[in-house]
Amino acid sequence: MYNLTPALELRRARAEFTHYEVCEFHDRSGVAEYTAVLKPGRHYTGLAELICAGTITELSALLRAQPRPQLPRRTRTTTPPDSPDAA
C-alpha cells in the first residue's frame, strides 16, 4: 500500500534533486526501496541514470556524492532543418 502523501524525507529529496525522479517502491513483503531515475532532459550530463538504495538517507547521500551536472550535449546538424537544402 502506498501513501497518497509522501514522507517528508522523500519530499525533501525530490525538492533537492530536481534532475531526478525520486521514487519509493515496496516489495511483496512491504520492504521499501528508494530509486532515483535521471529525467530525460538530463541525459548525457555525466550523472548516473539509475541509483537505488535501501533508505532515503542513503539515496540522498549517493546523489550528493555525484559530480556537478554538466550541460546536456547536443548534436550539431550540418544543415538547419528549416533550410531549403534540408531533405
Tens digits of per-residue pLDDT, 35-60? 999 998 888 778 899 999 999 999 99
Q: How high is the pLDDT of residue 70?
A: 66
Strand-pair partners of 53: 34
Q: How high is the pLDDT of residue 83?
A: 59
Q: How high is the pLDDT of residue 41?
A: 81
Domains contained in the chain, number: 1
User: 56: how many CB neighbours lie within 10 A of its CB?
Assistant: 20
Q: How high is the pLDDT of residue 42?
A: 82
pLDDT along the chain (87 residues), means of 10: 80 94 92 94 85 96 86 61 60
Containing structural domain, residue 22: 8-64
- Give how far Cα 32 sits from Cα of 39, 62, 87, Å: 22, 17, 51
Does 41 reside within a domain? yes
Does 75 reside within a domain? no
Measured CA to CA, the distance from residue 47 to residue 62 in angstroms comes to 11
Q: How high is the pLDDT of residue 71?
A: 65
Does 22 reside within a domain? yes
Measured CA to CA, the distance from residue 40 to residue 43 in angstroms comes to 6
Measured CA to CA, the distance from residue 61 to residue 9 in angstroms comes to 12
Does 87 reside within a domain? no
Strand-pair partners of 50: 37
